[in-house]
Amino acid sequence: MTLFVAGLPYDIDNAELEEIFEKFGKVRSAKVTLDRETGKSRGFGFVEMENDEDALQAIELLNEISLDRKGKPLVVKQAEDRPSSKSPRPGGNRPNNKFNRW
């Protein structure tokens, strides 16, 4: 099961995120989402856990707790599937017309 984790301290890295969740079971991956331009954390990430029961326990015990002194609570929930944004045509939904400048 993949979990969405928001409210992360901005200085947390992938290894620290994994360490938090491995207390509940086997973690396949832990990834803090970074801003493309600055390379800094966006304050959220995703954790993929091997066992659904372990993931549900992590949600129950970690949701709404704070990891830093500022008291910002975590939001831990099952990640939702991202809708596909792939277009059948190259260039998106725009007509394939070299003279069209919109």
pLDDT digits (tens, 9 = 90+) for 7-60: 999 999 999 999 999 999 999 999 999 999 999 999 999 999 999 999 999 999
Instruction: Mention the CATH class of domain 2-78.
Output: alpha beta
Are 52 and 79 in contact by the 8 Å Cβ rule? The answer is no
Residues 58, 49: Cα–Cα separation, whole Å:
10
| Strand positions, DSSP E, 1-102 | 2-6, 27-34, 41-49, 75-78
**pLDDT number for residue 52:** 97
Reported confidence tier of residue 68, pLDDT bands at 50, 70, 90: confident
CA distance 30 to 14: 6
